[in-house]
Amino acid sequence: MTDNSDNAPPEAAGYPVTLRLAGRSVLVAGGGRIAARRVERLLKTGARVVVIAPDVLPALSEAGGAGALVWHCREVREADVAGMQLVFAATDDSSVNDQLARAARRQGIWVQRADAAEDSDFLVPALVERGPLQIAISSAAAAPSLTRRVRAHIETLTPRAYGELASLARRFRDDVRARIPRQKRAAFWDEIFEGPIAEQVFAGRYDDAVRALDQRLHQTDEAHAARGEVYLVGSGPGDPDLLTFRALRLMQRADVVLYDSLLSPDILALVSPEAERIHVGKRAERHTLPQERINTLMVELAQQGRRVLRLKGGDPFVFGRGGEEITQLAEAGIDFQIVPGITAANGCAAYAGIPLTHRDHAQSVIFVTGHLQAGELKLGWAELARPGQTVVFFMGRRNLALICDRLREYGLADDWPAAMIIDGTTARQTIIAGTLADLPERVAADPAKGPALLIVGEVVRLHETLGWFRPHS
């Protein structure tokens, strides 16, 4: 190796590569935190790692992987670099690291110094790993803190299932090369990574994905017809930051979205701009489409080969009629996924500083609907009107006075705490706290008219102390 570092411009870009180190010898000088990180990563490559240090961290001495680890309990010497593929100088003595670097370069061996990036032949990037898939991030040592922030950002945006998807591709790589002409392979893999097969992997059905990909390989383009699917997604209580990563990904992939009236506009804005939008909203006594028509519409759209996003507020299985909707999909043989969301109860209570359970105030929590059925509230009032628990009423605003009267009739005191949370978790959040006796009047006098949630129980008293989200302050 010729050392041309002195001739390189000070801000010359590095050349990113992935080294195959299986079976090759690599020296790590040092036994501290940085050395431990290097050893852990090197062992995953299958390298033969030689560690030389008088003392090492427990994590380093217990490290294991596909490679081999040899530890020499002594000070490192210049002669130790002989026969190595790479050298990592990670001691806490700068002069020792300097000596190792010079000794390595005399023998044409590349060296990385933990204490001096500018005197290193290569840099170690921050890494996001998903099985065979690796994403390396580097600032060429210009801004390590920024590199860490970017890595954390990518980490949150990259589903773990991408590793299984990469493994699936590797498993079928040779078969694809044998059956798919070179000029069509890119389009073929685009179809796999953007279609139902990838979604099977993301949904945890890896074996189904294997069978589907094998079947697709044996189909002609004419015989292959795109299959539609439905994503039943809970969007949470309103704050877009509470969406799950899976929900965001599917919102971006959908061809058509069916959404409700109470859905936050901020969340709807995150749906793919290319997607057709169909409002199927339901409010009390004002249904844009009856539930039966929504069910059949999802089936019809999926049978057309479209990716259908059924976007609901909260969680689709908590007073969201999700069970009814997927029943018809299952009967029609339509592929579907269910993505849970943070319920209105969990989200609104948290943003209001009202713990749903508390050792001193509530040992259980009950979710009920405050929506009339056949003109009545058919609820077990005797069970609801008990101390030591929290009761959350979904859709309870319309019948708030009736709910409060019934709870008092069945034994709760007039001054029993209750709160109505309107537009919870959003910038419009309003909390109206009171008692069973006065809350209906307080709510009637407040101009806020958004989606509302009623919480009844002693935990409501904690709101003044624990409330942290103040959008109007």
Catalytically annotated residue among 98, 119, 266, 282: 282
Rounded Cα gap, residues 457 and 354, in angstroms: 10
Q: Give yes or no for a contact between 6 and 27, defined as CB atoms under 8 angstroms apart.
A: no
Phi/psi at 155 (5° precision): -55, -45
What is the torsional sign of CA 203, 205, 210, 214? negative
Catalytically annotated residue among 260, 315, 335, 423: 260
Active site residue 3: no
Identity (one letter) of the amino acid at 431?
Answer: I
Active site residue 260: yes
Identity (one letter) of the amino acid at 41?
Answer: R
What is the torsional sign of CA 284, 285, 286, 288? positive
Q: Determine which helix (DSSP H) or strand (DSSP E) holds 328, and give its type and residue range.
A: helix 322-331
Rounded Cα gap, residues 284 and 322, in angstroms: 18
* Alpha helices by DSSP H, 367-457: 381-384, 400-409, 439-445
With tokens 């319920």, the residue in question is 343
Phi/psi at 310 (5° precision): -100, 100
**100 token code pair:** 């190792």
b vs e for 9-42, b when ≥16 Cβ sit within 10 Å of the residue's Cβ? eeeeeeeeeeeebeebbbbbbbbbebbbbbbebb
Q: Where in the sequence numbering do the catalytic residues fall?
A: 260, 282
